[in-house]
Amino acid sequence: EQRQQQPGRHLFLWWPHYYLLAFVGACASVVTAVVVGPDVLVDSFLCVCLTMPPNLVQDLDLLRYSQNADPETGLIRCAILGCGMMGQEHISYICGYPDKIRIDFLCDPHQPSLDKSCQVLQQFGAIDDNALMMPKMLHDEHDLIQHVSDIDLLVIATPNYMHAETILQWGDHDVTILCEKPVAVSQAQHDKLLTAPLQARLWIAMEYRFIPAVAQLLQLLPTVGDLKMVTIRENRYPFLHKIGDWNREVEYTGDTLVEKCCHFFDLFRLITGQEVELNRVKAMAQRGINYGDEPVREKPIIDAAYVMFPMSSSETKKSLMACLELCMYAEGSRHQEEIIVTGTQGRLEAYLPENKVYAYQRPNHDEWSDRSIPPPKPVERVYDCSNVNAVHGIHGKIPTHGGYHYSSTAVEWYQLLRAMQTHRETGHWKPDVSLADGLAAVQIGLQATKSLQE
């Protein structure tokens, strides 16, 4: 049990004793062979082997896959780069897995963000008054990367425009990286990442994939027949204030259709299993409605937009229509997010924060035999998605304190830690959201923004 909790520790405790025993035994064997005869050498060697500590082979196997973990404790050693709102959300969920991961480094140039992160650690029980349990706090990424050999997992939660460069800097190292969206904010950044020979293992933080209502909708997709239309709406409040107001600048965000909507473009691909026909993406947008009390900018970021595009699959030869509707001056909306999927046999509607999915079936000929009158009222099936574990099929307790994405970050961390464990055991890395997924979502946003100028 102790070996399973702390892979390799048992081995390290035995090795000095075994080396000493082996050395003494080898010397004795050689002397005996000289005095008595060479046949005794084999018997002596076997005696030394029989003194090998129990389960040594098993411990060697555990040690083989103990990369990306502290060899003493087996815990994943994590560094948080960027300790603002999303960095703090990740910290709060990491605290829910004290037997799997610990935070060794916090890095942010803004001291109040570091202070707030320490408060989050205390709030969720990861540290107490014992200063030895405090992560090392740094203000510069250059200082952090000097500790790369002591870091198994890097969480990138810095401003958007810094993501790509950080991945490129850390990409030469044997480390796992969880990078917040968007992974890039320009075509140049996108193209660099697309061709970069990265050694690091990437997981892009597309939390919306793990929202319980989205997971339930995905499970119900076979009930609607062939997908023909997908509509996603977000009706919400304006962007919150960030340090230095970087999220008000097109250059630093890639504009709203990249910064905010990459989440939704990723969902379009996830739901349909199809790709966007980029040369046919069309958008309409409004600017300059929000932030009137702030300094005037030469080019305000997008406040509202429609984005329409066809999607298709070269494998299945299927296609559909898709539409994104975004309004960031709709604080009074009943729903913040709506995902509507319509197929040849039915329709699914997911609503947030209600966190429910409504399912409808089209009536067949027997149910609607008289086509001169409207069809009978359809039977409405409602799926309550408030039980995160049940929707995602997770057994055991996970930290689900809500956060900013309807507990989806809890599921994201559950899946990420499972993927890292699998990699440690098998050497195989399979992220739920790959770098290619993150880049595809960014490319759609860039193309939609570009279409505004055409």
| Tens of pLDDT, residues 385-438 | 999 999 999 998 898 876 778 889 999 999 999 999 999 999 999 999 999 999
129: CB partners within 8 A, 6+ apart: none
Q: What is the rounded distance in angstroms from the CA atom of residue 378 to the CA atom of residue 356? A: 18
Instruction: Quote the CA–CA distance of 76 and 150 in Å, as a whole number.
Output: 10
39 pLDDT above the threshold of 70: no
> Which pTM was predicted?
0.83
Cα(218)–Cα(212) distance, integer angstroms: 10
- Picking from 134, 120, 129, the residue whose alpha carbon sits closest to that of residue 83 is 120
Give backbone dihedrals phi and psi of 161, rounded to 5 degrees, phi first.
-70, -15
In whole angstroms, give the CA distance from residue 179 to residue 412: 12
What span, in angstroms and rounded, lies between the C-alpha atoms of 322 and 230? 5
Q: What is the pLDDT of residue 10?
A: 36
Question: Is the model's pLDDT at 35 over the cut of 60?
Answer: no
- Identify the residue with better confidence: 299 or 57: 299
- The CA distances from residue 66 to 58, 71, 94, 301, 411, in Å, are 13, 6, 20, 46, 24
Span between the terminal Cα atoms of the chain, in Å:
64
Percent of the chain at pLDDT > 70 equals 83
d(Cα 215, Cα 233) in Å, to the nearest integer? 17
Residue 433 confidence (pLDDT): 98
What angle (nearest 5°) sits at the alpha carbon of residue 279, between those of residues 276 and 283?
A: 80
- Whether 210 shows a pLDDT value over 70: the answer reads yes
Work out the angle at residue 329's Cα, subtended by the Cα atoms of residues 110 and 284, and round it to the nearest 5 degrees: 105
pLDDT digits (tens, 9 = 90+) for 75-100: 999 999 999 999 999 999 999 999 99
DSSP-based three-state secondary structure for 320 = strand
What does the pLDDT read at residue 147? 98
For residue 55, name the pLDDT band (cuts at 50, 70, 90).
Answer: very low
| Structural domain spans, the chain | 76-208, 212-399+436-452
Burial class from Cβ neighbours inside 10 Å (0-12, 13-18, 19+) for residue 162 reads middle
Taking Cα atoms as reference points, which of 233, 408, 209 lies closest to residue 333? 233
Residue 233 and residue 325: Cα distance in Å, rounded? 5
- Report which of 325, 318, 230, 223 is spatially closest to residue 270, judged by C-alpha positions: 230
C-alpha span between 60 and 200 (Å, rounded): 25
> Going by C-beta distance under 8 Å and a sequence separation of 6 or more, which residues neighbour residue 363?
375, 376, 378
Q: CB-based contacts of 393: which residues, under 8 Å, 6+ apart? A: none
Label residue 407 exposed, middle or buried (CB < 10 Å: 0-12, 13-18, 19+). buried
The confidence score (pLDDT) of residue 126 equals 61
CA distance 10 to 450: 59
26's CB contacts (< 8 A; 6+ apart) are: 45, 48
Residue type, 208: Y
CA distances from 110 to 117, 120, 140, 368 (A): 11, 16, 10, 64
DSSP state of 138: E
Say if CB 405 and CB 205 are below 8 A apart: no
| Region 91-118 average pLDDT | 96
- Copy the structure tokens of residue 111: 């001291």
pLDDT for 127 equals 63
pLDDT confidence of residue 77: 97
- Asked whether the predicted pLDDT for residue 167 surpasses 80, the reply is yes
CB atoms within 10 A of CB 432: 17
- The pLDDT value recorded for residue 296 is 84
Report the alpha-carbon distance of residue 216 to residue 224 in Å, rounded.
13
Read off the DSSP letter of residue 96: T
Q: Which of 241, 250, 255, 294 is nearest to 85 (CA)?
A: 241
Judged against a pLDDT cut of 70, whether residue 30 lies above it is answered with no
Q: Answer whether 324's CB lies under 8 Å from 232's CB.
A: yes
Select from 3.30.365.10, 2.30.29.30, 3.30.360.10, 3.30.230.70 the CATH code of 212-399+436-452.
Answer: 3.30.360.10
Give residue 316's pLDDT.
Answer: 85
Rounded to an integer, what distance in angstroms lies between the CA atom of residue 274 and that of residue 268?
Answer: 8
Q: How many CA atoms lie less than 13 Å away from 90 in the CB half-sphere?
A: 29
Q: Determine what percent of the chain is predicted with pLDDT higher than 90.
A: 75
Distance from C-alpha of 254 to C-alpha of 84, rounded to nearest angstrom? 19
Tell me how far apart the alpha carbons of residues 119 and 370 are, in angstroms, rounded to a whole number.
Answer: 66
Whole-angstrom distance, CA of residue 426 vs CA of residue 203: 18
What average pLDDT does the structure give for the chain?
A: 87
Q: Which one is the CATH code of 76-208: 3.40.50.720, 3.40.190.170, 3.90.1490.10, 3.30.70.270?
A: 3.40.50.720
Q: Which residue has the higher pLDDT, 368 or 128?
A: 368
